[in-house]
Chain A
Amino acid sequence: MNGFEEFFVRLAEDSPRWNFVWLYDERQAERILSGLWMTVKLSIACVILSVIIGIAGAWMQGAKNRVARAIVQGYIQFFRNTPPLVQLLFFYFALGQFTPVVTGPDGWTQIPVISNVGWAIISLSFFAGAFNVEIFRAGIESVPYSTREAAESLGMTRTQTYTNVVFPLALRVSIPALSNNLINLVKTTTQAFAIAVPELLYESVSVWNDFPSAQNPTMLLLFVVYISLVGVLAFGMTSWERKLRIPGYGE
């Protein structure tokens, strides 16, 4: 045990509410780190999937097909107007019953095809995706119709106009709002706790259940970690926004 660890062992002995157990107990450190890693993976998967849903949904909203538009509208109404925690429980407990299971390698365990982690990714992505659709739609609507006509009169199809002109311009308008929503999403991944996804909050609670004296330090850690995670995301989004800035446009 080195001096650093010794210091925290002594601190825990002197002040029983400040047991930074994961700084000197390797097993607890592993729990926190695996929780953090799960949170990072969950966040990355949900951010990517929700952005894809947002782009696809906004594209479908502009479709000529009325049924396609109605489906997107219904999707947005459902996922935007119900609590994400309820959605998560619904996906895992209600829909989870109907998903197929496979038999595990031991020959008798029934493993669902979609795990609780899978359901958390699906549910949270659809939740954030509903907002992303609206965010991208607002961006798309900000592109003047005349710009689209110019693309069209150069022979571009609707898809070519969308990918080369409308979307790149809409994206620039959407980034600030998108950034807010993705930050919210990263924070909302903690709700996966409710279906026992071993992410950071879940692991933290496990730690302080085993070591009640570690509750205060672990909560402190939670705040520090989320501030840092969100900070990294926010920084990335701001740099991206700056990188996409068009000289002489919108200033």
Chain B
Amino acid sequence: MSTWTEDQPIVSIKNVRKAFGTLEVLKGVSMDIMKGEVVCIIGPSGSGKSTLIRCVNALNDIQGGSITVEGQEVHTENLDKLALRKKVGMVFQQYNLFPHKTALENIMMAPVKVLREDKADVKERARELLKKVRLYDKEDSYPGELSGGQQQRVAIARSLAMRPDVMLFDEVTAALDPETVKEVLVTIKDLAADGMTCILVTHEMGFARELADHIYFTDRGVIVEHGPPDTFFDNAKDPRTKEFLDQIL
């Protein structure tokens, strides 16, 4: 059984290698994330950052190295997928809500169907979560009736309904209009303030700087540089990091 304690990394990624066919996208990536930390992974597109967090909740497999969540190995034959996915929530770039269900039903589906929790309890919790993401009046709206930013906040609430210990955010603001980016970022900020462990792949540099405890910069499948935001943004050492930051900032 797991002997994980809170002074050990909640997510530990060690020398992970991942290839799609002959294309190697992760060439030995390591990082440790402690409970309650907010970690941002930035880097040019195609550098493997989305792939990396998808490996954390076993949406992708890996070819080498190891990933543990709360001390339990993710990439093993006898992985308890349900146990892993209860611990790790994920929010996607394209929201991926269930279009045939209302906002409230989207949030309720997994706790009711997967955890077999009492429907009335789940409903109450779902309403609280909607309130938390500031969408209390939208519980009967279908995803198609909501803006991108609203859909993404429902997606966050849907993930939270499973009471995860770690949240993964895969470029969650990349598909949004500039004016709705903020409302989603505020929601994530609230989460971080509540002590949720967050791993974000993002292009929002201002957000990363303000909120992150640690920033990782990836390029071509490796971590080029990492550090706390102040050091990272002001004293980048690697020329690739500098070049990237010059292009973006």
Contact = CB atoms under 8 A, between A and B. Distances in A.
Contact of A248 (B57, B96, B98, B142): B142
B59 interface: yes
A164 B144 CA distance: 18
B94 A246 contact: no
Nearest to A244: B100
A61 B162 CA distance: 31
Interface residues of A, number: 25
B142 A249 contact: yes
A183 interface: no
A153 B96 CA distance: 11
Interface stretch (B79-87, B117-125, B195-203, B237-245): B79-87
B162 A155 contact: yes
A237 interface: no
Contacts of A160: 113-114
Contacts of B221: none
A151 B98 contact: yes
A249 B92 contact: no
B19 to A, nearest CB: 20
Contacts of A155: 81-82, 85-86, 110, 114-115, 162
Chain B: number of interface residues, binned into ranges: 20 to 34
A251 to B, nearest CB: 8
Nearest to B82: A155
Given A154-B110, A154-B158, A160-B114, A147 B143 contact: no
A71 B145 CA distance: 42
A111 interface: no
A82 B18 CA distance: 47
A229 to B, nearest CB: 31
Given A155-B82, A246-B99, A248-B146, 19 more contacts: A147-B96, A150-B97, A154-B85, A154-B159, A154-B162, A155-B110, A155-B114, A156-B114, A157-B82, A160-B113, A160-B114, A169-B99, A172-B100, A244-B100, A246-B100, A247-B145, A248-B143, A249-B100, A249-B143
Interface of B: 57, 59, 81-82, 85-86, 88-90, 92, 94, 96-100, 109-110, 113-115, 141-146, 155, 158-159, 162
14 contacts: A147-B96, A147-B99, A149-B59, A150-B96, A150-B155, A153-B57, A154-B158, A154-B162, A155-B82, A155-B85, A164-B98, A164-B113, A168-B100, A247-B142
Interface of A: 144, 146-147, 149-157, 160, 164-165, 168-169, 172, 244, 246-251
